[in-house]
A = this chain, B = another copy of it.
Amino acid sequence: MTDTPVLSAARRQAPLSDDTGPEIASFQLDNGLDLVVISDRRVPVATHMIWYRNGSADDPIGQSGIAHFLEHLMFKGTERHPAGEFSQVVSGLGGQENAFTSYDYTAYFQRVAKEHLATMMEFESDRMANLMLADDVVAPERDVVLEERRMRVETDPGAQLSEAMASALFVHHPYGIPIIGWMHEIEALDRAHALDYYKRFYTPENAILVVAGDVAEDEVRRLADASYGRITPRGARPQRIRPREPEPRAMRRVAVADPRVEQPLLQRMYLAPSSLTAQGRDAFALEVLAELVGGGPTSYLYRKLVLERGVAVNAGGWYMSSAVDETRFAVYAVPTPEVSLDQLEDMLDRAIAGIVDEALDEKSIARAKTQLIAETTYAADSQTSMARIYGAALAIGETIDSVRSWPADIEAVTHAELAEVARRYLVPRRAVTGHLLKAG
């Protein structure tokens, strides 16, 4: 029912800003709930997503994993609707549902025939205000989460390397803490933690409702007023308390060696500004740079390491632009059997050092932009993707306009801007290098 995207390659996607973009209305209910209505009249279906402006990076000290744990507990019922009823109704209507927790937000969604939108609002608004958390529900669900962590991380050396690299990259900021939480802290989460967290963050002021589909603004407003609108506001939105990373000074390296490793891996992450923290147009330039350097088999790293040098069987990179605070720009390469990670790293270093001189030709720049913008065109074709793009953007503090202008902003990135962000951010002292090795 729930999943936790690790956002390993969560490049932001956004719709086209030309006339073919969807009609979007946004407004606020009297209790502070933000609403976004995205018109999509192609099929008689509605996507209903509620976004909360809190994610794992807002977990209280010592309670890592509570955002994700509460996401699980949100399926445990209210006085009016016992555990499982909501999910049964959705599937009974032929619908789909899901939920996910990320660093900066938590979201719940259903996709149903449009005439059932009111029903979704009734259920979703009910659990925003009236969640029941009995002790006999909390403890078994914690076991479920612990098992989830065991399966995803404890038995996967690659996931362990990712966790260790994030910890090393973010020395001060909670992006260094895994979304699912540290094992020993999940084990200690209890009903009181969950209830405190729920009361603090699950409020109308902290939520954004996104409805996409064959629906009219005034109808959505009327339905939302009759459901969400009845929830008492708290008077203010809860605060995110986020420290800022210190300026990095040291090159860092992390290695996980495990007998279960089938395929060695070289990874590198650089601390980089996000769409929210970037000065000027740096985030747009970093998006183009990531695509150009690491986006698929025509990218600079793939050409250099796989095609020209023959030292890697795969290579690429990505940039997680969408984040409230400073974020990661990553590159990776998978060595051919006869190449060591140290040798591969030496080649990677040279390739990174050569970006400004060798990678930024006009043709590659144009290709990267086209690629990025094309991805958003495909995304705009999916109602759920559209709802997700706008919901995520608003949940981290961006605007509808910023999403709409994104393709133009990408198009406007210059050679000079690309060279500047490569020089400024892809430097050793901002980097954590990871080696995943077969032990023994």
Contact = CB atoms under 8 A, between A and B. Distances in A.
Contacts of A243: 61-62, 64, 185
Contact of A167 (B163, B164, B172, B257): B172
Interface residues of A, number: 35
A182 B255 contact: no
* Residue among A64, A167, A254 with max Cβ neighbours from chain B (10 Å): A167
A253 interface: yes
A185 to B, nearest CB: 7
Interface in A153-173: 160-161, 163-165, 167-168, 171-172
Contact of A183 (B165, B171, B183, B247): B247
A76 B244 CA distance: 29
B161 A172 contact: no
Given A61-B243, A62-B243, A243-B185, A249 B160 contact: yes
Contacts of A257: 251, 428
A185 B244 contact: yes
Interface of A: 61-62, 64, 160-161, 163-165, 167-168, 171-172, 176-177, 182-185, 241-244, 246-247, 249-257, 428, 434
Can you list the 8 inter-chain pairs with the closest CB atoms, starting with the nearest? A164-B250, A167-B171, A253-B253, A182-B246, A62-B243, A251-B255, A250-B254, A160-B249
16 contacts: A61-B243, A62-B243, A161-B250, A163-B249, A165-B250, A168-B171, A172-B177, A183-B247, A184-B246, A184-B247, A185-B243, A250-B255, A251-B254, A252-B253, A252-B254, A252-B255
